[in-house]
Structure 1
Amino acid sequence: MKKLTGIVAFVCIVALFFSNNLQAQTFPKLDKSPMDAATFPSDYKNANKFIKVIYSRPQLKNRTIEQLAPAGKVWRTGANEAPEITFYKDTNFGDKLIKAGTYSLFTIPGEEAWTVIINKDLNTWGAYYYNEANDVARVKAPVKMADESVEAFSISFDEKGTMHMGWGNLRLAVPTATK
């Protein structure tokens, strides 16, 4: 009887070992363009946010902005999925009033200004399915050049709520004001 109990215990341990291996989860490697978020207000102590942008951060890696975001073509404003921008209150975005809600964020690069687009479509990969008919607003953001270069595309908000975008030496700014 002791021998039978030992065999049963051994079989149970082997079965348990193999079942854990079968249930083991494999995880993908880190994304080359990691997802990030920018909020206004941007301090972590203030949980009452007015705006949040969720986007992926492509890196230049010895490429030019023009190679990754060609002038005159709609760009997803980052990598992977088009970014989502949430306005928690009605907000002036540039000179356009945007109703509270979640939208996608696209841009059209230009030499002197980029067109920043707020669009109703959500869950879109890249700009492949961009539909201009669903634009809520288009705002021109003048191009400025900075001395410091930023490797990964970045979005941030300053203390006044202006949304800043930077990549390489390029800088854009869109003022916002909540209602």
Structure 2
Amino acid sequence: MKKSTFITSIACFFIMLLSVNMEAQKFSSLDKSPLDVTAYPNSNKETNKLVKVVYSRPQLKERDLGTLVPNGKVWRTGANEATNVTLYKDMKVGGKAVKAGEYSLFTIPGEKEWTIILNKDINVWGAYSYNEANDVIRVKAPVSSGDSLEAFSIAFTDDGTMHLGWGTVRVAVPFTK
């Protein structure tokens, strides 16, 4: 009797483990605006980063950029959560001093220039709770154009300039020590 109870207990334990493992293997489908990360310096061989940007990449999908990101309105600069910028050292962003720390990146698009905003509020969804009183800096950046990009993209060049691009719109903001 004790032997059969022991075997039954062991069998129940393994069935329970199997069902837990099967649940753990359920994955959600691919996000329509996948998360991406870019950093400066951008070399994979350089481990001492000065800046890291975590953002989601919305797609145009034959939609008009001006409708998705209207001029004159605060934008989360990506999709889903507001874009997160981590400065590992004190830096200048667009010529203005910013202390090391974690910030949300918001922008206000314009036809000829964009306002780039670093804000103290972090872990916020979109720009719905954006609070201008918590801005750390606001800098202006000129708009240029390039080949069309389907997905919103952020990249750093070797000189520390952060480039934002979507559709044919390009905006560049220097990050310096």
One fold, TM greater than 0.5? yes
Equivalent residue for 1:76?
Answer: 76
Equivalent residue for 1:62?
Answer: 62
Residues matched between the structures, number: 175
Q: CA deviation at 1:13?
A: 3.6
Q: Aligned AA for 1:21?
A: S
Deviations 1:63-121 (A, max 9, x none): 11112211111000000100111111111101211111111100011111111101000
Matched position secondary structure for 1:103: strand
Q: CA deviation at 1:17?
A: 2.8
| Cα 1:14–1:89 shift into 2, 3 Å | closer
Q: Aligned AA for 2:167?
A: G
Unaligned 5+ runs, structure 2: none
Equivalent residue for 1:21?
Answer: 19
| Cα 1:132–1:13 shift into 2, 3 Å | same
| Cα 1:151–1:11 shift into 2, 3 Å | same
Q: CA deviation at 1:45?
A: 0.2
Equivalent residue for 1:176?
Answer: 175
Q: Which has the larger radius of gyration?
A: 1
Q: CA deviation at 1:11?
A: 7.3
Matched position secondary structure for 1:115: strand
Residue 157 of structure 1 pairs with residue 156 of structure 2? yes
Deviations 1:5-40 (A, max 9, x none): 679647744662354224522221121111111111
Q: Aligned AA for 1:84?
A: N
Unaligned 5+ runs, structure 1: none
Stretches of 4+ aligned residues off by more than 6 angstroms = none
Q: Aligned AA for 2:51?
A: I
Q: Aligned AA for 2:134?
A: N
Q: CA deviation at 1:50?
A: 0.7
Fraction of identical pairs, as percent = 54
Equivalent residue for 2:102?
Answer: 102
Q: Aligned AA for 1:168?
A: G
| Cα 1:22–1:88 shift into 2, 3 Å | closer
Of 24-33 and 49-58, more deviation after overlay is shown by: 24-33
TM-score (norm 1): 0.90
Matched position secondary structure for 1:46: coil
TM-score (norm 2): 0.91
